């Protein structure tokens, strides 16, 4: 789609206050979309994302919501519609990651991940299915760990496996709606979520394992999202592994 085509569209990006979410929000803003920047708790970072989009010539607004709460998830979409007239693209990057061997994982930590990563993805997908305008796109987020099968990631990967299942089935449930539904599965990406708790040595080791010899950057993932949100209309019901060949 040309820039002028995108300029009539509205994108709602969850978890857009940092990392891949922020990079995606800024990328879609550069494409000409009006962006609704969702955040859960860090208003300052969300406003920084809005400022970056506006200073680059785009349109953006920040809206807070707990996407694990049905009423707040619905209110988030209602606010986006009130601000911008409708929603054409939903990018659901919001998620948390708690690592540890399955045998030692605290069930409360598992439940926290499930609430955001699975319940949140379900509620956002449900609202998107009900509200996206024709020509729209829903992009959920999985992880390449579902292929890499790294020790310590069992609980996290399980939540993302659930997201993949919901995404692929929803794409088929929306037959005739002219709405695409896909998931992006990043590999190791230099975000605060990934870097937290890792030594420089471990980060360098992970970066060297892939054929590209580096970690992904949030902007690398944002480019994949922009394709699915715009020109990639013939890609539907797929999981795209954006990992530089690491898996």
The pLDDT value given to residue 6: 59
pLDDT for 2 = 41
pTM of the model: 0.92
What are the tens digits of pLDDT across the range 42-57?
999 999 999 999 999 9
Residue 14 β-bridge partners: 92
The 10s digit of each residue's pLDDT in 108-117 is 999 999 999 9
For domain 3-189+218-239, the CATH class is alpha beta
Closest CA relative to residue 13, chosen from 83, 117, 93? 93
Q: Which residues contact 136 (CB under 8 A, 6 or more apart)?
A: 87, 88, 89, 90, 128, 178, 179, 180
In this predicted structure, what is the pLDDT of residue 159? 98
Neighbours of 111 (CB within 10 A): 11
Report residues of the chain scoring pLDDT below 70.
1-7, 247
Helix (H) or strand (E) holding 185: strand 180-186
pLDDT at site 5:
55
Q: What pLDDT, in 10s, does the model give residues 167-180?
A: 999 999 999 999 99
Active site residues: 156
């Amino acid at each position: 789609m040309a820039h002028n085509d995108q300029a009539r569209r509205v994108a709602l990006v969850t978890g857009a206050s940092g990392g891949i979410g922020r990079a995606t929000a800024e990328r879609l803003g550069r494409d000409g979309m009006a962006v609704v920047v969702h955040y859960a708790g860090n208003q300052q970072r969300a406003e920084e994302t809005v400022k970056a989009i506006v200073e680059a010539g785009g349109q953006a607004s920040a809206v807070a919501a707990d996407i694990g709460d049905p009423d707040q998830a619905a209110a988030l979409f209602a606010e986006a519609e009130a601000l911008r007239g409708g929603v054409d693209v939903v990018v659901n990057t919001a998620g948390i990651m708690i690592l540890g061997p399955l045998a030692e994982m605290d069930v409360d930590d598992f439940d926290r991940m499930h609430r955001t990563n699975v319940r949140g993805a379900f509620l956002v997908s449900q609202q998107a299915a009900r509200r996206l305008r024709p020509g729209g796109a829903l992009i959920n987020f999985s992880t390449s760990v579902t292929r890499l099968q790294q020790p310590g990631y069992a609980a996290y990967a399980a939540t993302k496996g659930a997201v993949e299942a919901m995404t692929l089935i929803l794409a088929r449930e929306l037959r005739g709606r002219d709405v695409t539904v896909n998931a992006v599965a990043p590999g190791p990406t230099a975000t605060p979520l990934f870097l937290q708790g890792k030594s420089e040595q471990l980060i360098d080791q992970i970066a060297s394992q892939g054929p590209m010899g580096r970690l992904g950057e949030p902007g690398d993932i944002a480019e994949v999202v922009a394709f699915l949100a715009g020109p990639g209309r013939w890609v539907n019901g797929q999981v795209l592994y954006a990992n530089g060949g690491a898996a």
